Structure formats: C-alpha cells, structure tokens
Amino acid sequence: MDLSDPAADRREQLLEAADRVVQREGSAASMNLIAAEAGITKPILYRHFGDKGGLYRALAARHTDRLLLRLRAALTTRGGLTARTRATVEAYLAAVEEQPQVYRFLMERAAAEDIDVRGQVLGFVRRFGDELAAGLRAEPTLIPISPARAQVWAHGIAGMVQAAGDWWLDHPDVPREVVADELIALMFGEFGLGTPSA
C-alpha cells in the first residue's frame, strides 16, 4: 500500500525548487523566481506555505537541521579536544563555503524580513551552544568543569564561530584552513581550553 502523502511530497518538491533559486540568487531570491523555478504560479506557492514567511521558515528549518547534524557528528570526532574542536569549526565553515548563497539568504534576507526566521537562526546557535556545552562537560581533559562554565564557554564559542563565518563570507580570499587555524589558536590560547597539541 502506498503511504506517501501527496501534499507533503509536493511541498518537498517546492522546497527543492526554492533551494535551487536561493543557491543561485542568494538574498535576491524572490517568490516570483521560486514560483517560476517550480513551474507554478505564486498563489499556488502561497497555498503550500501560507505566505513568504512560511516558505522562509521551512527553508531555515531544512538548512539549520542539516547543519546541526553535521556539527553533532563533528563533536564525536576521535583524537582529543583539539581534534573535536577543529572538526566542529571546520564543519561550520564548510557549510558556509559549500552554500554561501543559502547562508546569505538565511542570515541577511530571511532573518531580516521574518522575525520567526530570525528566531530560528538564533535558536540554532543556542542549540549548537547547548550541545557543545554537553560535550565540554563530558570532555575528559576538562573534568571537573562546572555546568555554568561549560555553558558560558560553549555559547561564547558558538557565537564566535558564527560571527567569524559571517565575516569570512565577505572575505573569501582568506582560505578556510586559515580561518579555522585562527579560531583554534584563539580558543586554546585565550580561553584556556588547553593547548593546540592537547
């Protein structure tokens, strides 16, 4: 028996079309362009997502969920604290590098136009910070670390990596490895997490 949901399948197809437009156009993506890419009229697009904000929120959820999965995987990297930290920073920067137009769209256009999307983006950074804090509390080289210190460090790191990613988007001439190296040097040299060889 076919248990597929035609409405859900169609919505996913429309999200794929929206993704393609955003990856090409970045913050210039519009509902007209998305509807044209999907081969439909704008009212049909609104029927599936309610309004422009509904489409933006669906796109934000899709990309932040995917990025969080990548970051979770990086947090399980073997090789000690430095290796896990670097893998996590690299995972975030890789996502920015692979889809810069999507990143721009979510951070600049969608978050500016829709307060719920802004909340989703901020919520993603908080979720990342919470998961990083759990990782810090479980890190053998940092035990014992207080829950408060783990939370403050983790959320500071998450915000710093996001801010560096935002800056790097406008400075693509700086190699990703250099950005990662400098973030690791700052974290381990200034925040006292250990030494880069730990």
Which CATH number is 139's domain given?
A: 1.10.357.10
Full domain range(s) for residue 112: 59-190
Q: What's the DSSP call for residue 197?
A: T
Domain tally, the chain: 1
Q: Which of 68, 66, 88 minimizes the C-alpha distance to 77?
A: 88
Flag whether 85 is in a domain: yes
* Reduced DSSP (H G I as helix, E B as strand, rest coil) percent helix, strand, coil of the chain, to 5: 80, 0, 20
Flag whether 52 is in a domain: no
Flag whether 42 is in a domain: no
Q: Which residues contact 36 (CB under 8 A, 6 or more apart)?
A: none
Flag whether 44 is in a domain: no
pLDDT at 178: 96
Flag whether 115 is in a domain: yes
Walk along the chain (198 residues) and give the pLDDT tens digit of each residue. Answer: 455 678 788 889 999 999 999 988 887 888 899 999 999 999 988 888 888 888 888 888 888 888 899 999 998 898 888 898 999 999 999 999 998 888 888 887 777 777 888 888 888 889 999 989 988 888 888 878 899 999 999 999 999 999 999 999 899 999 999 999 999 999 887 555 554 444
Q: Which residues contact 34 (CB under 8 A, 6 or more apart)?
A: 14, 17, 18, 21, 45, 55
CB 147 within 8 A of CB 137: yes
pTM of the model as a whole: 0.81
Flag whether 36 is in a domain: no
pLDDT at 198: 41
Flag whether 175 is in a domain: yes
Flag whether 46 is in a domain: no
